[in-house]
């Protein structure tokens, strides 16, 4: 069987930085110490008024293509994970990105799995490559959560940021690349992290806009408990599927949501702090984009080296979660 892995990686974050103290300056009842101690976040990036999800996605994709040495004309498929598409229903953000990148008229579609979106998109793209339906796939995760957050809700607005990450998938040396995937969803917990109104269940009205129920709403305690309960087992299941154990794991790149969630998972798994890559303090929770942004930074800083066994694990609204196990090695 062919080995499918990463030919290149890239990311992009907006220029505007919002620090914790900026919330205090706006009159929000919080502090830098309060936010850092409960989340690990010190600042986040926020898209400009004229920046949409596709703008971030295009820049991350261009960086990944350049890193891979692959031209847009070589891409056979685009899979884009996002919860914040440019347009509410259609067209897909992937189609917009396909046109702007100059990629031929190949299939391009969005995947919606919230903060687990990159895990889902990566797994789908991997199957296309394994089947022979595609040779090189552009996988992008991009979100502009600043556009859908209630900036007066202390429980949510401090958490989220904007950004995009991308990878180019293709055939790599035997034994390298994506080794296994573990994906799950539990719709019974759908209301734990949700945008209550504005969809087909409750179409937008002036009253909804006034009440801001078309913005992110979260039961923080429920999300924390759910995440802590699923992250460790998912990593263990994915390792087992790859014929590996936790002792084989060199580096964990988790969804960058909350430092305490990651710490709980790390302690459960019995791995060292230096085996976990974190950039949460700089970017906050960028939803589906958080894992590929962190992956790109782990590569560019030299933390991730060829031959390492890597776990990419995500969790988020749906409730969804998943893990991909990778033996790192770019290209053949």
Domain ranges of the chain: 4-176, 178-327
- Rounded Cα distance, 116 and 93, in Å: 18
Cis peptide, bond prior to residue 91, ω within 30 of zero? yes
Per residue of the chain (332 residues), what is the pLDDT tens digit? 899 999 999 999 999 999 999 999 999 999 999 999 999 999 999 999 999 999 999 999 999 999 999 999 999 999 999 999 999 889 999 999 999 999 999 999 999 999 999 999 999 999 999 999 999 999 999 999 999 999 999 999 999 999 999 999 999 999 999 999 999 999 999 999 999 999 999 999 999 999 999 999 999 999 999 999 999 999 999 999 999 999 999 999 999 999 999 999 999 999 999 999 999 999 999 999 999 999 999 999 999 999 999 999 999 999 999 999 999 986 55
Q: Which of 115, 129, 144, 157 is catalytic?
A: 115
Q: Does residue 184 have an active-site annotation?
A: no
CA 257 to centroid of chain Cα atoms:
10
- Rounded Cα distance, 83 and 148, in Å: 10
- Rounded Cα distance, 117 and 123, in Å: 10
Phi-psi region at 318: left, alpha or beta (left = phi > 0; alpha = psi -120 to 50)? left
Q: Which of 255, 258, 279, 324 is catalytic?
A: 255
The architecture of the domain spanning 4-176 is 3-Layer(aba) Sandwich (3.40)
- Phi then psi for residue 148, to 5 deg, are -125, 15
Q: Which of 119, 214, 279, 285 is catalytic?
A: 285
Please check whether the two domains, 4-176 and 178-327, share a CATH topology. Answer: yes
Max Cα separation, the chain? Answer: 58
Q: What superfamily would CATH give domain 178-327?
A: Thiolase/Chalcone synthase (3.40.47.10)
Q: Does residue 274 have an active-site annotation?
A: no
pLDDT value of residue 222: 95
Q: Does residue 255 have an active-site annotation?
A: yes
Provide the b/e sequence for 176-193 (b: ≥16 CB within 10 Å): bbbbbbbbbeeeebeebb
């Amino acid at each position: 069987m062919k080995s499918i892995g990463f030919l290149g990686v890239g990311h992009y974050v907006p220029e505007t930085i919002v620090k914790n103290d900026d919330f205090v300056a706006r009159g929000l009842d919080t502090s830098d110490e309060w936010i850092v101690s409960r989340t690990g976040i010190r600042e986040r990036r926020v898209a400009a008024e004229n920046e949409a999800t596709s703008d971030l996605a295009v820049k991350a994709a261009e960086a990944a293509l350049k890193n891979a040495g692959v031209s847009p004309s070589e891409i056979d498929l685009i899979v884009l994970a996002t919860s914040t598409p440019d347009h509410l229903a259609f067209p897909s953000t992937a189609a917009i990105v396909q046109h702007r990148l100059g990629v031929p008229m190949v299939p391009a579609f969005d995947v919606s799995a919230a903060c687990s979106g990159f895990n889902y998109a990566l797994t789908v793209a991997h199957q296309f490559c394994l089947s022979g339906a595609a040779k090189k796939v552009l996988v992008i995760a991009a979100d502009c959560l600043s556009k859908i957050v209630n900036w007066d809700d202390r429980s949510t607005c401090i958490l989220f940021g904007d950004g995009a990450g991308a990878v180019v998938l293709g055939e790599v040396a035997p034994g390298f690349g994506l080794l296994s995937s573990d994906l799950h969803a539990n719709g019974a917990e759908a209301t734990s992290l949700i945008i209550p109104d504005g969809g087909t269940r409750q179409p937008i009205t002036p009253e909804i806009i006034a009440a801001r129920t078309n913005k992110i709403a979260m039961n923080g305690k429920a999300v924390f408990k759910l995440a802590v309960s699923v992250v460790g087992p998912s990593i263990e299941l994915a390792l087992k599927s790859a014929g590996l154990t936790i002792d084989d794991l060199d580096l964990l790149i988790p969804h960058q949501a909350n430092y305490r969630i990651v710490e709980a998972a790390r302690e459960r798994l019995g791995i060292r702090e230096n085996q976990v890559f974190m950039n949460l303090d700089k970017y906050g929770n960028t939803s589906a984009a958080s894992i590929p942004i962190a992956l790109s930074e782990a590569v560019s800083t030299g933390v991730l080296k060829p031959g390492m066994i890597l776990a990419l694990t995500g969790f988020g609204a749906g409730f969804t979660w998943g893990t991909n196990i990778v033996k790192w090695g770019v290209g053949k």
